[in-house]
Amino acid sequence: MDILTAVRHCFSADYAEAREKFRNSCRAYGVEPKAYVNPNRGPLGEELTTDAAWFGPKDAKKVLVSIAGTHGVEGFTGSGGQIDWLSSGGPLTLPKGVAALHIHAINPHGFAWLRRVTEEGVDLNRNHVDFSKPLPENPGYDELADALLPSELSGKVFEEAEAKIAAYKEKHGLWKFSEARGGGQYKHPTGFFFGGFGPTWSRQTTEKIVDDFGVKNADLVAVIDYHTGLGPFGYGEPICNHPIDGVAVNRAKAWYGQSVTEPLLGTSSSTAKAGLSEFGWEFLLGEKVTFVALEYGTYTPEEGRRALREDHWLHAYTNVDWNDPETKRIKAQIRRQYYPDTPDWKEMVLYRSRQILRQAQDGLAAS
C-alpha cells in the first residue's frame, strides 16, 4: 500500500474504530488476536480490550514487539502504525526466524476516554517500579503540586498557580522544571505523571501477554513503543533509556543509527524518568531486550501543559459529561495535542514507522 493511501486507511476516529481495524487487519492473515478484557467500559458503554497478535514462527527466537496506547490518547498513532504494517504486507516481510507481536491499546481506557492515564489515574509509563520497596521521591513536584493542577482554570487561584510555576522556572531553569513535572511522582493520585500505589491492570496485562506468547523464550527482543507529544512536529525520535554504554543501548544504535537519543545523556527531547515501561521489560527479559520509545513531535510544550492540565482538572474537579460542551472542548484539545490528525503529520508518522519497524526486523535478523 502506498503511503498516501495508508494515511487515509490506517488511522481511526476513535478507540472502537481502531480496535475493529486492527482486529480485521490481523484476520486478513488468518490470525485471531487474543483479547484481554478491561473491567471498565468506554464513554459510550463500549467494551474495552487490549488485543495482542503474533505473526511468524511460534517458536521464534527473535521477536519484534510493537506497543500502541501506553499513554491512552496517544494510541491513535501507534494503532495507525500497526495497521499500516499489516495492510502493507508486514507479516510477509518478516526475515527467517523472526516473529512479530503487536500489542494494540495496552491502555484501552485512556484510549477510549481520551486520557493519557489508565482507569486508575496512573501514568502507565511511570508504573513500572518495585512497589515492595520505597517509591521514588520527587520533591520538585511536591512543591508545585497545587500549582500544576489548580482547582480553578481562571481567576485568582489560577493566576497565583501560574506565578508560582514561573518563579520555579526562574529559580531552577526550564529543564529542572520539566524533570519535576514529568519525571514521575507517587504521592498525588489526581496529579500529572502519577506512578500509582501498585501495578495497574495495563501493567499486569503486559506481563500476562509476555507469558502467554512465550516472549521470555526468545533470545533477542526488539520493542517499539509508540508515543507522541515531544519534539519537532511530525519527527519520530527513537528514545532509549537503557543504561549508558550498555549492551542494549549500543544494540539500539547499531540498529537505528545516530538518531537514537538518550535521556540519561541529555541528548533527548525527554528527561530522565522513573517507572518507565522500558524498565518493566528489562526486568522481565534482561539484556536480551532492546527497547525504544518512538516519540513523535506534535505541538508546543506549553500547549501540551495546558491540554493535560485541563483534562486532569476535568476529571479531578467536575463530573465528566461526554455531551457537555466544556467536556467536548477539553477532550478535543487533548486529542489534538497528542494526535494532530493532519495529512502531513500522519504521512510523516507512517514513513518513520515503516523505517523503524524495518530496521528492527533487519537488526534482529542480522544479530
Could you tell me which residues are beta bridge partners of residue 342?
none
Q: Which tens digits make up the pLDDT trace of 15-70?
A: 999 999 999 999 999 999 999 999 999 999 999 999 999 999 999 999 999 999 99
The whole-angstrom distance between residue 253's C-alpha and the CA centroid of its chain comes to 21
Please state the rounded mean pLDDT for residues 174-179: 93
Q: Which tens digits make up the pLDDT trace of 117-138?
A: 999 999 999 999 999 999 999 9
Please state the rounded mean pLDDT for residues 78-103: 98
- Say how many C-beta atoms besides its own lie within 10 A of residue 136's C-beta: 15
Whole-number Å distance between alpha carbons of 54 and 47: 22
Q: Which tens digits make up the pLDDT trace of 315-366?
A: 999 989 999 999 999 999 999 999 999 999 999 999 999 999 999 999 999 9
DSSP category for residue 215: G
Q: CB–CB of 199/120 below 8 Å?
A: no
Helix/strand/coil for 227: strand
Grid-cell match 500509582, residue found: 196
Report the mean per-residue pLDDT for the chain: 97
First to last CA, the chain: 29
Dihedral, CA of residue 5, residue 7, residue 8 and residue 14, to nearest 10: 150
Predicted pLDDT at 319 = 87
Angle at CA 8, nearest 5°, toward 346 and 11? 60
